Structure 1
Amino acid sequence: MHDLFTTDALSVLVVAFGVGIVVGLTGMGGGALMTPALIFLGINPAAAVANDLVAASVNKSVGAAVHWRTGSPNLRLAGLLITGSVPFAFAGGFIVKSVGDAEARAAFLTTAIGWALLLAAGSYALRMYLQLRFVTGGNVLSTEEPHVRAATTIAVGALGGLLVGITSVGSGSLIMVALLLLYPTMSAVRLVGTDLVQAVPLVLAAAAGHVLTEGITWAVLVPLIVGGTPGTFFGARLAGWVSQSVIRRGIVIVLFLTGLKMLGVPPHWVGIIGAGMLLLGPLVWGFIRQAHGLPNFDNDSTAWRLPDRQPDPRSDTDAP
Protein backbone atom coordinates (compact mmCIF):
# COMPACT_ATOMS: atom_id res chain seq x y z
CA MET A 1 0.00 0.00 0.00
CA HIS A 2 2.89 2.36 0.73
CA ASP A 3 3.76 2.21 -3.00
CA LEU A 4 0.71 4.43 -3.61
CA PHE A 5 2.33 7.33 -1.74
CA THR A 6 5.68 7.54 -3.50
CA THR A 7 6.99 10.32 -5.72
CA ASP A 8 6.65 8.05 -8.76
CA ALA A 9 2.97 7.42 -8.01
CA LEU A 10 2.42 11.15 -7.60
CA SER A 11 4.06 11.76 -10.98
CA VAL A 12 1.70 9.26 -12.60
CA LEU A 13 -1.28 10.94 -10.94
CA VAL A 14 -0.25 14.40 -12.19
CA VAL A 15 0.37 13.16 -15.72
CA ALA A 16 -2.94 11.25 -15.72
CA PHE A 17 -4.75 14.41 -14.63
CA GLY A 18 -3.14 16.39 -17.48
CA VAL A 19 -3.92 13.76 -20.10
CA GLY A 20 -7.46 13.53 -18.72
CA ILE A 21 -7.93 17.27 -19.31
CA VAL A 22 -6.88 16.85 -22.95
CA VAL A 23 -9.24 13.90 -23.40
CA GLY A 24 -12.08 15.85 -21.80
CA LEU A 25 -11.41 18.85 -24.02
CA THR A 26 -11.22 17.01 -27.33
CA GLY A 27 -12.23 13.37 -26.87
CA MET A 28 -8.88 12.50 -28.42
CA GLY A 29 -5.57 11.09 -27.31
CA GLY A 30 -6.24 8.82 -24.31
CA GLY A 31 -3.99 5.80 -24.84
CA ALA A 32 -1.92 7.60 -27.47
CA LEU A 33 -0.79 10.16 -24.89
CA MET A 34 -0.90 8.17 -21.64
CA THR A 35 1.05 5.05 -22.60
CA PRO A 36 4.17 6.86 -23.92
CA ALA A 37 3.97 9.26 -20.97
CA LEU A 38 4.15 6.30 -18.58
CA ILE A 39 7.11 4.88 -20.50
CA PHE A 40 8.91 8.22 -20.31
CA LEU A 41 8.33 8.17 -16.53
CA GLY A 42 10.39 4.99 -16.42
CA ILE A 43 7.60 2.41 -16.30
CA ASN A 44 8.20 -0.82 -18.18
CA PRO A 45 6.38 -0.67 -21.56
CA ALA A 46 4.45 -3.90 -20.91
CA ALA A 47 3.26 -2.62 -17.52
CA ALA A 48 2.43 0.78 -19.04
CA VAL A 49 0.22 -0.80 -21.71
CA ALA A 50 -1.47 -3.22 -19.29
CA ASN A 51 -2.34 -0.66 -16.61
CA ASP A 52 -3.34 2.05 -19.10
CA LEU A 53 -5.79 -0.38 -20.72
CA VAL A 54 -7.35 -1.27 -17.36
CA ALA A 55 -7.71 2.42 -16.45
CA ALA A 56 -9.12 3.21 -19.91
CA SER A 57 -11.75 0.50 -19.53
CA VAL A 58 -13.06 2.31 -16.44
CA ASN A 59 -13.07 5.77 -18.02
CA LYS A 60 -14.58 4.64 -21.33
CA SER A 61 -17.35 2.75 -19.52
CA VAL A 62 -18.47 6.01 -17.91
CA GLY A 63 -18.45 7.87 -21.22
CA ALA A 64 -20.28 5.07 -23.00
CA ALA A 65 -22.97 5.00 -20.31
CA VAL A 66 -23.66 8.69 -20.90
CA HIS A 67 -23.99 8.20 -24.65
CA TRP A 68 -26.14 5.08 -24.17
CA ARG A 69 -28.61 7.08 -22.08
CA THR A 70 -28.88 9.78 -24.76
CA GLY A 71 -29.58 7.19 -27.43
CA SER A 72 -26.85 8.45 -29.76
CA PRO A 73 -24.89 5.30 -30.65
CA ASN A 74 -25.67 3.15 -33.67
CA LEU A 75 -25.85 -0.21 -31.91
CA ARG A 76 -25.65 -2.31 -35.08
CA LEU A 77 -22.41 -0.64 -36.13
CA ALA A 78 -21.06 -0.96 -32.60
CA GLY A 79 -21.94 -4.68 -32.59
CA LEU A 80 -20.13 -5.30 -35.89
CA LEU A 81 -17.05 -3.45 -34.67
CA ILE A 82 -17.10 -5.47 -31.42
CA THR A 83 -17.37 -8.72 -33.38
CA GLY A 84 -14.12 -7.94 -35.14
CA SER A 85 -12.23 -6.19 -32.36
CA VAL A 86 -12.74 -8.24 -29.19
CA PRO A 87 -10.94 -11.49 -30.15
CA PHE A 88 -7.98 -9.62 -31.68
CA ALA A 89 -7.78 -7.22 -28.73
CA PHE A 90 -7.75 -10.12 -26.27
CA ALA A 91 -4.96 -11.79 -28.24
CA GLY A 92 -2.76 -8.68 -28.00
CA GLY A 93 -1.32 -9.47 -24.58
CA PHE A 94 -0.49 -13.04 -25.61
CA ILE A 95 1.17 -11.81 -28.82
CA VAL A 96 3.40 -9.51 -26.77
CA LYS A 97 4.13 -12.31 -24.30
CA SER A 98 5.24 -14.60 -27.15
CA VAL A 99 7.90 -12.15 -28.34
CA GLY A 100 10.47 -13.30 -25.76
CA ASP A 101 11.91 -12.21 -22.45
CA ALA A 102 11.21 -8.90 -20.69
CA GLU A 103 13.93 -7.05 -22.59
CA ALA A 104 12.71 -8.29 -25.96
CA ARG A 105 9.11 -7.39 -25.09
CA ALA A 106 10.14 -3.89 -24.04
CA ALA A 107 12.01 -3.33 -27.31
CA PHE A 108 9.11 -4.72 -29.36
CA LEU A 109 6.51 -2.58 -27.59
CA THR A 110 8.61 0.57 -27.83
CA THR A 111 8.88 0.16 -31.60
CA ALA A 112 5.23 -0.89 -32.03
CA ILE A 113 3.97 2.06 -29.97
CA GLY A 114 6.22 4.43 -31.92
CA TRP A 115 4.71 3.37 -35.24
CA ALA A 116 1.21 3.36 -33.73
CA LEU A 117 1.70 6.98 -32.59
CA LEU A 118 2.76 8.04 -36.09
CA LEU A 119 -0.32 6.28 -37.46
CA ALA A 120 -2.52 7.95 -34.83
CA ALA A 121 -1.07 11.38 -35.65
CA GLY A 122 -1.81 10.84 -39.33
CA SER A 123 -5.35 9.66 -38.59
CA TYR A 124 -6.04 12.74 -36.41
CA ALA A 125 -4.79 15.01 -39.19
CA LEU A 126 -6.98 13.18 -41.70
CA ARG A 127 -9.94 13.53 -39.35
CA MET A 128 -9.51 17.32 -39.23
CA TYR A 129 -9.23 17.49 -43.01
CA LEU A 130 -12.36 15.38 -43.47
CA GLN A 131 -14.26 17.74 -41.17
CA LEU A 132 -13.08 20.66 -43.28
CA ARG A 133 -14.30 18.90 -46.44
CA PHE A 134 -17.69 18.26 -44.84
CA VAL A 135 -18.02 21.93 -43.93
CA THR A 136 -17.19 23.25 -47.38
CA GLY A 137 -19.38 20.60 -48.96
CA GLY A 138 -22.40 22.05 -47.14
CA ASN A 139 -23.45 18.73 -45.63
CA VAL A 140 -26.75 18.56 -43.82
CA LEU A 141 -27.30 16.24 -40.87
CA SER A 142 -29.05 13.11 -42.12
CA THR A 143 -32.02 11.72 -40.21
CA GLU A 144 -31.80 8.33 -41.97
CA GLU A 145 -29.79 5.33 -40.82
CA PRO A 146 -26.70 4.74 -42.99
CA HIS A 147 -26.30 1.70 -45.20
CA VAL A 148 -24.19 -0.67 -43.10
CA ARG A 149 -21.15 -2.29 -44.73
CA ALA A 150 -20.92 -5.33 -42.48
CA ALA A 151 -17.76 -7.05 -43.76
CA THR A 152 -15.76 -3.82 -43.99
CA THR A 153 -16.91 -2.70 -40.54
CA ILE A 154 -15.88 -6.03 -38.97
CA ALA A 155 -12.48 -5.76 -40.69
CA VAL A 156 -12.03 -2.25 -39.28
CA GLY A 157 -12.85 -3.59 -35.81
CA ALA A 158 -10.35 -6.43 -36.19
CA LEU A 159 -7.52 -4.11 -37.26
CA GLY A 160 -8.31 -1.62 -34.52
CA GLY A 161 -8.60 -4.39 -31.93
CA LEU A 162 -5.21 -5.83 -32.87
CA LEU A 163 -3.53 -2.43 -32.66
CA VAL A 164 -5.14 -1.58 -29.31
CA GLY A 165 -4.48 -5.07 -27.96
CA ILE A 166 -0.76 -4.73 -28.60
CA THR A 167 -0.08 -1.02 -27.99
CA SER A 168 -3.22 0.44 -26.27
CA VAL A 169 -3.24 3.09 -29.05
CA GLY A 170 -5.98 3.43 -31.65
CA SER A 171 -9.41 2.93 -30.09
CA GLY A 172 -10.27 6.64 -30.32
CA SER A 173 -8.32 7.57 -33.44
CA LEU A 174 -8.08 4.97 -36.18
CA ILE A 175 -11.55 3.48 -35.66
CA MET A 176 -13.13 6.94 -35.56
CA VAL A 177 -11.49 7.96 -38.84
CA ALA A 178 -12.57 4.69 -40.44
CA LEU A 179 -16.15 5.36 -39.34
CA LEU A 180 -15.95 8.86 -40.84
CA LEU A 181 -14.80 7.42 -44.16
CA LEU A 182 -17.34 4.57 -44.21
CA TYR A 183 -20.35 6.53 -42.90
CA PRO A 184 -19.89 10.23 -43.75
CA THR A 185 -23.58 11.06 -43.31
CA MET A 186 -23.65 10.11 -39.62
CA SER A 187 -23.69 13.00 -37.18
CA ALA A 188 -20.68 13.71 -34.99
CA VAL A 189 -22.54 12.80 -31.78
CA ARG A 190 -23.61 9.42 -33.18
CA LEU A 191 -20.08 8.68 -34.40
CA VAL A 192 -18.63 9.50 -30.99
CA GLY A 193 -21.34 7.51 -29.20
CA THR A 194 -20.84 4.49 -31.46
CA ASP A 195 -17.08 4.65 -31.03
CA LEU A 196 -17.36 4.88 -27.23
CA VAL A 197 -19.81 1.96 -26.97
CA GLN A 198 -17.66 -0.33 -29.11
CA ALA A 199 -14.52 0.79 -27.30
CA VAL A 200 -15.68 -0.56 -23.92
CA PRO A 201 -15.60 -4.31 -24.76
CA LEU A 202 -12.59 -3.66 -27.02
CA VAL A 203 -10.53 -2.13 -24.21
CA LEU A 204 -11.86 -4.63 -21.64
CA ALA A 205 -10.77 -7.53 -23.85
CA ALA A 206 -7.35 -5.95 -24.44
CA ALA A 207 -6.97 -5.25 -20.72
CA ALA A 208 -7.93 -8.84 -19.85
CA GLY A 209 -5.29 -10.22 -22.21
CA HIS A 210 -2.57 -8.04 -20.71
CA VAL A 211 -3.64 -8.63 -17.10
CA LEU A 212 -3.48 -12.40 -17.64
CA THR A 213 0.01 -12.16 -19.14
CA GLU A 214 1.49 -9.13 -17.35
CA GLY A 215 -0.59 -8.55 -14.22
CA ILE A 216 -1.57 -5.27 -12.54
CA THR A 217 0.73 -2.74 -10.91
CA TRP A 218 -1.46 -1.04 -8.32
CA ALA A 219 1.01 1.80 -7.80
CA VAL A 220 0.45 2.71 -11.46
CA LEU A 221 -3.22 1.79 -11.91
CA VAL A 222 -4.65 3.64 -8.90
CA PRO A 223 -3.01 7.02 -9.76
CA LEU A 224 -4.12 6.58 -13.38
CA ILE A 225 -7.77 6.30 -12.35
CA VAL A 226 -7.64 8.82 -9.48
CA GLY A 227 -5.93 11.43 -11.68
CA GLY A 228 -7.55 10.68 -15.03
CA THR A 229 -11.21 10.72 -13.99
CA PRO A 230 -11.33 14.27 -12.49
CA GLY A 231 -9.01 15.49 -15.25
CA THR A 232 -11.45 14.29 -17.90
CA PHE A 233 -14.37 15.89 -16.06
CA PHE A 234 -12.48 19.19 -15.68
CA GLY A 235 -11.46 19.17 -19.35
CA ALA A 236 -15.03 18.55 -20.45
CA ARG A 237 -16.16 21.59 -18.44
CA LEU A 238 -13.50 23.72 -20.14
CA ALA A 239 -14.29 22.50 -23.65
CA GLY A 240 -16.47 25.49 -24.50
CA TRP A 241 -13.74 27.96 -23.49
CA VAL A 242 -10.80 26.56 -25.46
CA SER A 243 -10.09 26.46 -29.20
CA GLN A 244 -10.63 22.85 -30.27
CA SER A 245 -8.75 23.24 -33.55
CA VAL A 246 -5.60 24.55 -31.85
CA ILE A 247 -5.58 21.71 -29.31
CA ARG A 248 -6.15 19.05 -31.96
CA ARG A 249 -3.32 20.38 -34.11
CA GLY A 250 -1.15 20.39 -30.99
CA ILE A 251 -2.03 16.74 -30.30
CA VAL A 252 -1.01 15.79 -33.85
CA ILE A 253 2.39 17.43 -33.36
CA VAL A 254 2.93 15.86 -29.92
CA LEU A 255 1.99 12.36 -31.12
CA PHE A 256 4.20 12.64 -34.20
CA LEU A 257 7.24 13.83 -32.24
CA THR A 258 6.68 11.25 -29.49
CA GLY A 259 6.48 8.51 -32.11
CA LEU A 260 9.78 9.65 -33.63
CA LYS A 261 11.40 9.68 -30.18
CA MET A 262 10.23 6.14 -29.40
CA LEU A 263 11.53 4.92 -32.76
CA GLY A 264 14.98 6.15 -31.82
CA VAL A 265 15.24 9.28 -33.95
CA PRO A 266 18.08 11.45 -32.52
CA PRO A 267 16.82 14.20 -30.18
CA HIS A 268 18.27 17.03 -32.28
CA TRP A 269 16.32 15.84 -35.31
CA VAL A 270 13.15 15.53 -33.22
CA GLY A 271 13.71 19.14 -32.11
CA ILE A 272 14.30 20.37 -35.65
CA ILE A 273 11.22 18.58 -36.97
CA GLY A 274 9.15 19.85 -34.03
CA ALA A 275 10.24 23.44 -34.61
CA GLY A 276 9.40 23.12 -38.29
CA MET A 277 5.94 21.75 -37.53
CA LEU A 278 5.24 24.50 -34.99
CA LEU A 279 6.32 27.24 -37.39
CA LEU A 280 5.06 25.90 -40.71
CA GLY A 281 2.10 23.77 -39.58
CA PRO A 282 -0.31 26.68 -38.93
CA LEU A 283 0.69 28.29 -42.24
CA VAL A 284 0.07 25.08 -44.19
CA TRP A 285 -3.28 24.51 -42.44
CA GLY A 286 -4.28 28.12 -43.11
CA PHE A 287 -3.42 27.68 -46.79
CA ILE A 288 -5.53 24.49 -46.96
CA ARG A 289 -8.46 26.28 -45.34
CA GLN A 290 -8.12 29.22 -47.72
CA ALA A 291 -8.00 26.85 -50.70
CA HIS A 292 -11.41 25.51 -49.56
CA GLY A 293 -12.88 29.00 -49.25
CA LEU A 294 -12.64 29.31 -45.46
CA PRO A 295 -10.93 31.99 -43.34
CA ASN A 296 -7.29 31.17 -42.68
CA PHE A 297 -7.65 30.82 -38.91
CA ASP A 298 -10.68 30.45 -36.64
CA ASN A 299 -12.24 28.06 -34.17
CA ASP A 300 -14.33 25.00 -35.11
CA SER A 301 -17.45 23.46 -33.68
CA THR A 302 -19.15 21.07 -36.06
CA ALA A 303 -19.01 19.87 -39.63
CA TRP A 304 -22.78 19.49 -39.95
CA ARG A 305 -25.84 21.69 -40.36
CA LEU A 306 -29.22 20.79 -38.94
CA PRO A 307 -32.03 20.62 -41.53
CA ASP A 308 -34.00 23.39 -39.77
CA ARG A 309 -30.94 25.56 -39.19
CA GLN A 310 -28.78 26.14 -42.25
CA PRO A 311 -26.13 28.78 -41.64
CA ASP A 312 -23.49 29.59 -44.16
CA PRO A 313 -21.12 26.58 -43.98
CA ARG A 314 -18.24 28.99 -44.42
CA SER A 315 -19.07 30.97 -41.32
CA ASP A 316 -16.48 31.16 -38.55
CA THR A 317 -18.54 29.13 -36.06
CA ASP A 318 -18.95 26.06 -38.26
CA ALA A 319 -15.49 25.66 -39.70
CA PRO A 320 -12.72 23.38 -38.46
Structure 2
Amino acid sequence: MTVSYVVSGFAVGLLVGLTGVGGGSLMTPLLTLLFGIHPSVAVGTDLAFASATKTAGTLAHRFKGTVRWDVVRRLSYGALPAALITTLLLKHFGAVSDGIALTIRYSIAVSVFLTVIALLFRSRMQAWLNAHPQRQLQGATLANATIAAGALLGTLVTISSIGAGAVGATLLVLLYPRLSPAEIAGTDIAYAVPLTAIAALGHWWLGSINWELLATLLLGSVPGITIGSLAARAVPEKFLRGLLAITLTSVAVKLIW
Protein backbone atom coordinates (compact mmCIF):
# COMPACT_ATOMS: atom_id res chain seq x y z
CA MET A 1 0.00 0.00 0.00
CA THR A 2 2.92 2.36 0.73
CA VAL A 3 4.14 2.01 -2.87
CA SER A 4 0.63 2.84 -4.12
CA TYR A 5 0.61 6.03 -2.03
CA VAL A 6 4.02 7.07 -3.40
CA VAL A 7 2.89 6.40 -6.98
CA SER A 8 -0.34 8.33 -6.37
CA GLY A 9 1.63 11.23 -4.91
CA PHE A 10 3.87 11.23 -7.97
CA ALA A 11 0.90 11.17 -10.39
CA VAL A 12 -0.87 14.03 -8.62
CA GLY A 13 2.37 16.02 -8.35
CA LEU A 14 2.99 15.51 -12.07
CA LEU A 15 -0.48 16.82 -12.97
CA VAL A 16 -0.13 19.78 -10.61
CA GLY A 17 3.22 20.66 -12.17
CA LEU A 18 1.78 20.38 -15.68
CA THR A 19 -1.47 22.28 -15.10
CA GLY A 20 -1.00 24.41 -11.99
CA VAL A 21 -4.25 23.07 -10.49
CA GLY A 22 -4.16 22.63 -6.71
CA GLY A 23 -3.36 19.13 -5.49
CA GLY A 24 -6.40 19.03 -3.20
CA SER A 25 -8.84 18.74 -6.09
CA LEU A 26 -6.93 15.64 -7.19
CA MET A 27 -5.47 14.10 -4.04
CA THR A 28 -8.45 14.27 -1.69
CA PRO A 29 -10.89 12.50 -4.06
CA LEU A 30 -8.17 9.96 -4.91
CA LEU A 31 -7.61 9.06 -1.26
CA THR A 32 -11.35 8.85 -0.64
CA LEU A 33 -12.40 6.88 -3.71
CA LEU A 34 -9.39 4.71 -4.55
CA PHE A 35 -7.96 3.92 -1.12
CA GLY A 36 -11.09 4.19 1.01
CA ILE A 37 -9.52 6.73 3.37
CA HIS A 38 -12.10 8.37 5.65
CA PRO A 39 -13.00 11.78 4.16
CA SER A 40 -11.96 13.67 7.31
CA VAL A 41 -8.53 12.00 7.34
CA ALA A 42 -8.09 12.59 3.59
CA VAL A 43 -8.92 16.28 4.04
CA GLY A 44 -6.71 16.76 7.11
CA THR A 45 -3.72 15.02 5.57
CA ASP A 46 -4.03 16.99 2.34
CA LEU A 47 -4.24 20.27 4.25
CA ALA A 48 -0.99 19.49 6.08
CA PHE A 49 0.62 18.70 2.72
CA ALA A 50 -0.70 21.92 1.16
CA SER A 51 0.52 24.07 4.04
CA ALA A 52 4.10 22.86 3.57
CA THR A 53 4.20 23.16 -0.20
CA LYS A 54 2.47 26.55 -0.38
CA THR A 55 4.96 28.02 2.11
CA ALA A 56 7.78 27.24 -0.30
CA GLY A 57 5.76 28.67 -3.19
CA THR A 58 5.09 31.90 -1.30
CA LEU A 59 8.80 32.44 -0.63
CA ALA A 60 9.51 32.12 -4.34
CA HIS A 61 6.74 34.56 -5.31
CA ARG A 62 7.79 37.03 -2.62
CA PHE A 63 11.32 36.99 -4.03
CA LYS A 64 9.89 37.81 -7.48
CA GLY A 65 7.60 40.54 -6.09
CA THR A 66 4.42 38.91 -7.40
CA VAL A 67 2.35 38.93 -4.19
CA ARG A 68 -0.27 41.65 -3.58
CA TRP A 69 -0.11 41.77 0.21
CA ASP A 70 -3.07 44.15 0.53
CA VAL A 71 -5.28 41.57 -1.19
CA VAL A 72 -3.77 38.77 0.92
CA ARG A 73 -4.70 40.73 4.04
CA ARG A 74 -8.32 41.23 2.94
CA LEU A 75 -8.74 37.55 2.03
CA SER A 76 -7.24 36.53 5.38
CA TYR A 77 -9.70 38.74 7.29
CA GLY A 78 -12.46 36.50 5.95
CA ALA A 79 -10.70 33.14 5.54
CA LEU A 80 -9.00 32.69 8.92
CA PRO A 81 -12.06 33.28 11.17
CA ALA A 82 -14.12 31.10 8.82
CA ALA A 83 -11.56 28.28 9.14
CA LEU A 84 -11.61 28.51 12.93
CA ILE A 85 -15.42 28.53 13.11
CA THR A 86 -15.69 25.61 10.68
CA THR A 87 -13.17 23.61 12.73
CA LEU A 88 -15.19 24.19 15.89
CA LEU A 89 -18.36 23.07 14.10
CA LEU A 90 -16.61 19.90 12.89
CA LYS A 91 -15.50 19.24 16.47
CA HIS A 92 -19.02 19.81 17.77
CA PHE A 93 -20.70 17.50 15.27
CA GLY A 94 -17.91 14.90 15.22
CA ALA A 95 -15.30 15.10 12.45
CA VAL A 96 -15.07 11.32 12.02
CA SER A 97 -18.77 10.50 12.36
CA ASP A 98 -20.65 8.92 9.45
CA GLY A 99 -22.92 11.95 9.05
CA ILE A 100 -20.03 14.39 8.83
CA ALA A 101 -18.20 12.00 6.47
CA LEU A 102 -21.15 12.17 4.06
CA THR A 103 -21.27 15.97 4.35
CA ILE A 104 -17.54 16.20 3.63
CA ARG A 105 -17.90 13.82 0.69
CA TYR A 106 -20.58 16.04 -0.89
CA SER A 107 -18.52 19.16 -0.09
CA ILE A 108 -15.56 17.64 -1.92
CA ALA A 109 -17.80 16.95 -4.93
CA VAL A 110 -19.06 20.57 -4.99
CA SER A 111 -15.50 21.87 -4.67
CA VAL A 112 -14.35 19.66 -7.55
CA PHE A 113 -17.20 20.96 -9.74
CA LEU A 114 -16.17 24.53 -8.90
CA THR A 115 -12.60 23.67 -9.88
CA VAL A 116 -13.82 22.39 -13.25
CA ILE A 117 -15.74 25.64 -13.87
CA ALA A 118 -12.63 27.59 -12.91
CA LEU A 119 -10.49 25.57 -15.31
CA LEU A 120 -12.82 26.04 -18.27
CA PHE A 121 -14.01 29.63 -17.93
CA ARG A 122 -11.43 31.68 -15.96
CA SER A 123 -9.69 33.22 -18.97
CA ARG A 124 -13.04 34.12 -20.57
CA MET A 125 -14.23 35.76 -17.35
CA GLN A 126 -11.07 37.85 -17.14
CA ALA A 127 -11.30 38.93 -20.78
CA TRP A 128 -14.95 39.98 -20.38
CA LEU A 129 -14.25 42.01 -17.24
CA ASN A 130 -11.29 43.77 -18.82
CA ALA A 131 -13.51 44.64 -21.79
CA HIS A 132 -16.19 46.05 -19.44
CA PRO A 133 -14.36 48.09 -16.77
CA GLN A 134 -17.65 49.60 -15.56
CA ARG A 135 -18.55 46.15 -14.20
CA GLN A 136 -15.46 45.98 -11.96
CA LEU A 137 -15.87 46.56 -8.23
CA GLN A 138 -14.12 49.53 -6.60
CA GLY A 139 -13.25 50.92 -3.16
CA ALA A 140 -15.10 49.69 -0.08
CA THR A 141 -17.34 47.42 -2.15
CA LEU A 142 -14.29 45.63 -3.54
CA ALA A 143 -12.72 45.32 -0.07
CA ASN A 144 -15.90 43.86 1.46
CA ALA A 145 -16.36 41.47 -1.48
CA THR A 146 -12.77 40.27 -1.03
CA ILE A 147 -13.35 39.58 2.68
CA ALA A 148 -16.55 37.70 1.82
CA ALA A 149 -14.69 35.66 -0.80
CA GLY A 150 -12.07 34.82 1.82
CA ALA A 151 -14.77 33.61 4.22
CA LEU A 152 -16.25 31.37 1.52
CA LEU A 153 -12.85 29.92 0.68
CA GLY A 154 -11.95 29.44 4.34
CA THR A 155 -15.08 27.38 4.91
CA LEU A 156 -14.67 25.38 1.70
CA VAL A 157 -10.99 24.61 2.28
CA THR A 158 -11.47 23.54 5.92
CA ILE A 159 -14.28 21.15 5.01
CA SER A 160 -12.92 19.71 1.77
CA SER A 161 -9.25 20.88 1.47
CA ILE A 162 -10.22 22.08 -2.03
CA GLY A 163 -10.70 25.66 -3.16
CA ALA A 164 -7.48 27.50 -2.38
CA GLY A 165 -6.08 26.77 -5.85
CA ALA A 166 -8.21 27.08 -8.97
CA VAL A 167 -11.34 28.37 -7.21
CA GLY A 168 -9.39 30.97 -5.22
CA ALA A 169 -7.54 32.13 -8.33
CA THR A 170 -10.83 32.45 -10.24
CA LEU A 171 -12.34 34.63 -7.51
CA LEU A 172 -9.23 36.81 -7.63
CA VAL A 173 -9.64 37.17 -11.39
CA LEU A 174 -13.27 38.25 -10.93
CA LEU A 175 -12.41 40.75 -8.21
CA TYR A 176 -9.06 42.01 -9.56
CA PRO A 177 -9.06 41.38 -13.34
CA ARG A 178 -6.15 43.75 -13.91
CA LEU A 179 -3.70 41.63 -11.92
CA SER A 180 -1.12 39.80 -14.01
CA PRO A 181 -1.20 35.96 -14.08
CA ALA A 182 1.93 35.91 -11.91
CA GLU A 183 0.29 38.21 -9.34
CA ILE A 184 -2.87 36.07 -9.33
CA ALA A 185 -0.78 32.95 -8.70
CA GLY A 186 1.45 34.58 -6.06
CA THR A 187 -1.44 36.18 -4.16
CA ASP A 188 -3.50 32.99 -4.29
CA ILE A 189 -0.63 30.94 -2.87
CA ALA A 190 0.30 33.51 -0.21
CA TYR A 191 -3.13 33.84 1.43
CA ALA A 192 -3.51 30.04 1.33
CA VAL A 193 -0.48 29.53 3.61
CA PRO A 194 -2.08 30.77 6.87
CA LEU A 195 -5.45 29.34 5.79
CA THR A 196 -4.18 25.80 5.16
CA ALA A 197 -1.95 26.01 8.26
CA ILE A 198 -4.86 26.91 10.54
CA ALA A 199 -7.14 24.36 8.88
CA ALA A 200 -4.43 21.68 9.18
CA LEU A 201 -3.89 22.51 12.87
CA GLY A 202 -7.63 22.23 13.35
CA HIS A 203 -7.69 18.78 11.77
CA TRP A 204 -4.66 17.76 13.87
CA TRP A 205 -6.66 18.82 16.94
CA LEU A 206 -9.58 16.76 15.62
CA GLY A 207 -7.26 13.78 15.15
CA SER A 208 -7.82 13.57 11.40
CA ILE A 209 -4.24 13.72 10.03
CA ASN A 210 -2.37 10.53 9.06
CA TRP A 211 1.29 11.55 9.34
CA GLU A 212 2.64 8.31 7.83
CA LEU A 213 0.36 8.76 4.82
CA LEU A 214 1.50 12.38 4.50
CA ALA A 215 5.18 11.32 4.41
CA THR A 216 4.63 8.71 1.69
CA LEU A 217 2.62 11.13 -0.45
CA LEU A 218 5.40 13.71 -0.20
CA LEU A 219 7.95 11.11 -1.33
CA GLY A 220 6.11 10.81 -4.63
CA SER A 221 4.72 14.31 -5.09
CA VAL A 222 7.97 16.29 -4.79
CA PRO A 223 9.68 14.66 -7.79
CA GLY A 224 6.33 14.58 -9.63
CA ILE A 225 5.83 18.34 -9.27
CA THR A 226 9.43 18.97 -10.36
CA ILE A 227 9.14 16.83 -13.50
CA GLY A 228 5.70 18.24 -14.35
CA SER A 229 6.91 21.82 -14.02
CA LEU A 230 9.88 21.14 -16.30
CA ALA A 231 7.69 19.42 -18.91
CA ALA A 232 4.80 21.91 -18.78
CA ARG A 233 5.84 23.91 -21.83
CA ALA A 234 6.11 20.80 -24.01
CA VAL A 235 2.46 19.75 -23.49
CA PRO A 236 -0.46 21.77 -24.96
CA GLU A 237 -2.19 23.59 -22.09
CA LYS A 238 -5.69 23.38 -23.61
CA PHE A 239 -5.40 19.60 -24.00
CA LEU A 240 -4.25 19.16 -20.41
CA ARG A 241 -6.94 21.40 -18.93
CA GLY A 242 -9.64 19.67 -20.99
CA LEU A 243 -8.44 16.23 -19.90
CA LEU A 244 -8.27 17.38 -16.29
CA ALA A 245 -11.77 18.89 -16.46
CA ILE A 246 -13.21 15.60 -17.76
CA THR A 247 -11.37 13.62 -15.07
CA LEU A 248 -12.51 15.90 -12.24
CA THR A 249 -16.11 15.89 -13.47
CA SER A 250 -16.07 12.08 -13.42
CA VAL A 251 -14.64 12.15 -9.89
CA ALA A 252 -17.34 14.55 -8.66
CA VAL A 253 -20.11 12.42 -10.15
CA LYS A 254 -18.61 9.30 -8.54
CA LEU A 255 -18.46 11.05 -5.16
CA ILE A 256 -22.17 11.87 -5.32
CA TRP A 257 -23.41 8.60 -6.83
TM more than 0.5: yes
Which amino acid is 1:242 matched to? V
Match of 2:112 in 1: 117
Tell me how far 1:263 sits from its aligned partner. 0.5
Establish whether residue 53 from structure 1 lines up as the match of residue 47 from structure 2. yes
Stretches of 4+ aligned residues off by more than 6 angstroms:
none
Match of 1:214 in 2: 207
Tell me how far 1:147 sits from its aligned partner. 6.3
Out of 23, 37, 52, the residue aligned to residue 43 of structure 1 is: 37
Tell me how far 1:49 sits from its aligned partner. 0.4
**Aligned pairs, how many?**
249
Tell me how far 1:232 sits from its aligned partner. 1.1
Counterpart Cα distance in 2 of 1:251 and 1:174: 15
Deviations along 1:143-195, one digit per CA (max 9) or x if unpaired, are: xxx96821111111110110001100100122211111111111111111111
8 Å contact 1:94–1:210 — kept in the other structure?
no
Establish whether residue 106 from structure 1 lines up as the match of residue 101 from structure 2. yes
8 Å contact 1:90–1:208 — kept in the other structure?
no
Match of 1:180 in 2: 173
Deviations along 1:31-74, one digit per CA (max 9) or x if unpaired, are: 01110001121111111000010011111111111101111111
Establish whether residue 127 from structure 1 lines up as the match of residue 122 from structure 2. yes
Counterpart Cα distance in 1 of 2:236 and 2:21: 14
Q: Give the number of the structure whose alpha-carbon radius of gyration is greater.
A: 1
8 Å contact 1:9–1:219 — kept in the other structure?
no
| Cα RMSD (Å) | 2.0
Which consecutive unaligned segments of at least 5 residues does structure 1 have?
A: 1-7, 138-145, 265-320
8 Å contact 1:82–1:198 — kept in the other structure?
yes
Counterpart Cα distance in 1 of 2:5 and 2:60: 27
8 Å contact 1:85–1:157 — kept in the other structure?
yes
Superposed counterparts of 1:1-320, under 5 Å = 8-40=1-33, 41-100=35-94, 102-130=97-125, 149-264=142-257
Larger displacement relative to structure 2 (102-111 or 252-261):
102-111
Counterpart Cα distance in 2 of 1:91 and 1:207: 14
Which amino acid is 1:152 matched to? A
8 Å contact 1:25–1:236 — kept in the other structure?
yes
Which amino acid is 2:93 matched to? V
